[in-house]
Amino acid sequence: MSTTPRRTLMSALTLIGALLFAATTLTVSAPGALAAATPVASASTSTATAPAPMTARARAVAFGARVVKIASSRRGSPYVYGGSGPHRFDCSGLTMWTFNRLSRHLPHSAAAQYGRTRHIRARDRRPGDLVFFHDGGGIYHVGIYAGHNEIWHAPYPGARVRKERLWTRSVYYGRVR
């Protein structure tokens, strides 16, 4: 191959590579419309990309994970009637203290907390939601849903904060706003 055709071939390949790279950095913002996107990092570039903004669902899941982590940090703390932490808790005191650490303020009563949550169906529950136990006449206990049909709670006098499987279907679920 002579020098001129080789240069032409190399120029064409470089142009094709540049076009392919440009195509990977464009996104469709509306049907038929192209908009420049944040550059995508690849082996051929050293530009780092900014993380994509979190969706509302992703933020809610991350918030729920923080709720569960904070509640689990109180594992082994003794139940004391009226206790609201940081070392002794009753059921609503544990939930109140946990959410207070995340700048969400709840009253110190399971029934009052139920009134301050958005009520959700069992199939919509996710870790970090509150689980309210009822007996038909009122709400008598609250815990924090941990996933896999388990809750973190301060169960009763003489017991300690622990994770436990749900033992009844007589529960309501609420999401702290």
Q: Is residue 134 annotated as part of the catalytic site, yes or no?
A: no
Looking up tokens 């809610």 gives 60
Please state, in angstroms and rounded to a whole number, the distance separating the CA atoms of residues 146 and 153.
Answer: 10
Phi-psi region of 128 (alpha: psi -120 to 50; beta: other; left: phi over 0): left
Please state, in angstroms and rounded to a whole number, the distance separating the CA atoms of residues 153 and 89.
Answer: 9
Q: Is residue 153 annotated as part of the catalytic site, yes or no?
A: yes
Q: Is residue 105 annotated as part of the catalytic site, yes or no?
A: no
Q: Are 177 and 120 in contact (CB under 8 A)?
A: no
- Residue 98, token pair as written in the block: 């946990």
Tell me phi and psi for residue 154, to 5 degrees.
-105, 100
Tell me phi and psi for residue 24, to 5 degrees.
-75, -15
Q: Are 95 and 105 in contact (CB under 8 A)?
A: no
| Residue of 87, 119, 148, 153 marked catalytic | 153
Catalytic residues: 91, 141, 153
